[in-house]
Amino acid sequence: MNTKEIEIQCARIRLINSSLVENVILDYTNLDTEEVLKIKEVNLQLTDGKPYAVLIDSGLFTSITKEARELSASTEFAQRTIAKALLVHSLGHRIVGEFYIKINKPLIKTKIFANRDKAIEWLNKEILFAVNSN
């Protein structure tokens, strides 16, 4: 297992395998567009610009601005991302995740999980599907 990891002000980002990145949002973080763009940049750096799936661990007591949610759902932001799993730890984060999926309608296939292993299993299936589709 590859353990490449980079920590930035708002998140710890690590490569789980060559096509799967985990973004752990640090506790008490309020993500804005600048931070979301920085996370995307590190994801692309860790995967050498190749297509990848991402597991986003919401951390504790975190939030995301309306503008950052809109950006992360946009066509420009979808670049190179196969699928996204949102790992939630609270009802509040589940509600925000469901709101994001229903209202912001991310271009990237996105699903909410409370179990990390199930999220990774789903992401690996999405990666295999994407690879076999090309």
First to last CA, the chain: 25
- Residue 25 lies inside a defined structural domain of this protein: yes
pLDDT of residue 131: 85
Average pLDDT of the segment spanning 66-92 = 94
- Residue 134 lies inside a defined structural domain of this protein: no
User: What mean pLDDT value characterizes the chain?
Assistant: 94
pLDDT of residue 49: 93
- Cα distances (angstroms) measured from residue 33 to each of 4, 10, 11, 38, 77: 24, 12, 14, 9, 11
Q: Which residues form the domain of 82?
A: 5-129
- Residue 125 lies inside a defined structural domain of this protein: yes
Q: Model-level pTM?
A: 0.93
Q: Give per-residue pLDDT as tens, 87-131.
A: 999 998 999 999 999 999 999 999 999 999 999 999 999 999 998
Average pLDDT of the segment spanning 55-80 = 93
Whole-number Å distance between alpha carbons of 81 and 103: 20
Q: How many residues does this entry show for the chain?
A: 134
Q: Do the Cβ atoms of 25 and 57 come closer than 8 Å?
A: yes
- Would you say residue 1 has pLDDT above 50? no
Number of domains comprising the chain:
1
- Would you say residue 132 has pLDDT above 90? no
Q: Do the Cβ atoms of 98 and 123 come closer than 8 Å?
A: no
DSSP alpha helices (H): ranges in the chain? Answer: 33-46, 66-73, 91-99, 116-133
Spatial CA neighbour of 43 closest among 17, 21, 25, 18: 21
- Residue 105 lies inside a defined structural domain of this protein: yes
CATH number (domain holding residue 113): 3.30.750.24
- Would you say residue 2 has pLDDT above 50? no
Q: Quick one: pLDDT band at residue 3, thresholds 50, 70, 90? A: low
